[in-house]
Structure 1
């Protein structure tokens, strides 16, 4: 048996790249699921899915481009970092929607997460 084709320490770069791709894919899957499951009466709830890294971001906005901003945030991750990714909706009525207040949607985050887990296991 011959020696290593590559130095073993370079393997860590491969692992980091693979982990980054997995983390990015999982976050995008959750965001796609949220986009599909979010009620759209005014579009405000759908536009307020917020992505942050390292710690939660409790702000909310009336910006209608919220989903674009969320996807852009995921795209900003670089392969050499693996922060905790927070995806949340901070509108005052977001928890009520999750708990079934709307006839249009409920368990939006739970179902989005479960869909991601099913896709990656």
Structure 2
């Protein structure tokens, strides 16, 4: 008598298994890219701004010149406090009260269609951005397109090396890194 022939796994069950595997892999990679993008995103630091670097250099030079004259005359050098109070060594020309994290907070995720808006979120640590993006990614059905983007006007400048914190950009490096890891 011939053995029972047929599918060991019904085709519909096989399709569901494949759909789940594809969806899980896409979500896993999207989460990795989101994490890389957020962590690579520069957070504004006024101490690195040209105007502040120039002002600090000028004020430091004046304080150093005073110290040189004081040493020649046998007087003591300025204390750190005196340098700050008398020569404004720690002063900023720009960015007083500035809080960085706007670019990092504006990375966001959409499914199947890109978003043409900005997020009003300042997130220096990136945790709120990753949390919001992860929730969207986990909701993505299999075979969907997951967009991770940033629409701030200066995002293209940052991607093309405008920032000393991310001289080689953000998105391109994140994609290349994750693509290599999942080869």
Q: TM-score, normalised by structure 2?
A: 0.61
Counterpart pick for 1:92 among 153, 157, 160: 153
How much is the aligned-residue C-alpha RMSD, in angstroms? 1.6
Identify unmatched segments of 5+ residues in structure 2: 45-99, 123-127
Specify the alignment match of 1:109 in structure 2.
Answer: 171
For each residue in 1:88-109, what CA deviation from the matched residue of structure 2 results, as whole angstroms up to 9, or x when unmatched?
Answer: 1101100000001111113200
Structure number with larger C-alpha Rg: 2
For each residue in 1:55-111, what CA deviation from the matched residue of structure 2 results, as whole angstroms up to 9, or x when unmatched?
Answer: 110111222333321111112224xx3211111110110000000111111320000
Question: Which one is further off, 1-10 or 38-47?
Answer: 1-10
Identify unmatched segments of 5+ residues in structure 1: none
Alpha-carbon contact 1:34-1:112 (below 8 Å) kept = yes
Counterpart pick for 1:47 among 105, 108, 115: 105
Alpha-carbon contact 1:49-1:88 (below 8 Å) kept = yes
Quote the offset at 1:22 in angstroms: 0.6
Which residues of 2 match residues 1-121 of structure 1 at below 5 A? Answer: 3-41=6-44, 42-64=100-122, 65-78=128-141, 81-105=142-166, 106-121=168-183
Quote the offset at 1:11 in angstroms: 0.6
Quote the offset at 1:8 in angstroms: 2.3
Alpha-carbon contact 1:46-1:67 (below 8 Å) kept = no
Aligned to 1:59, the other structure's residue is in SS state coil
State the alpha-carbon separation in 2 of the partners of residues 34 and 69 from structure 1: 14
Higher relative contact order, chain-length normalized (CA < 8 Å, sep 6+): 1
Q: TM-score, normalised by structure 1?
A: 0.89
Aligned to 1:52, the other structure's residue is in SS state strand
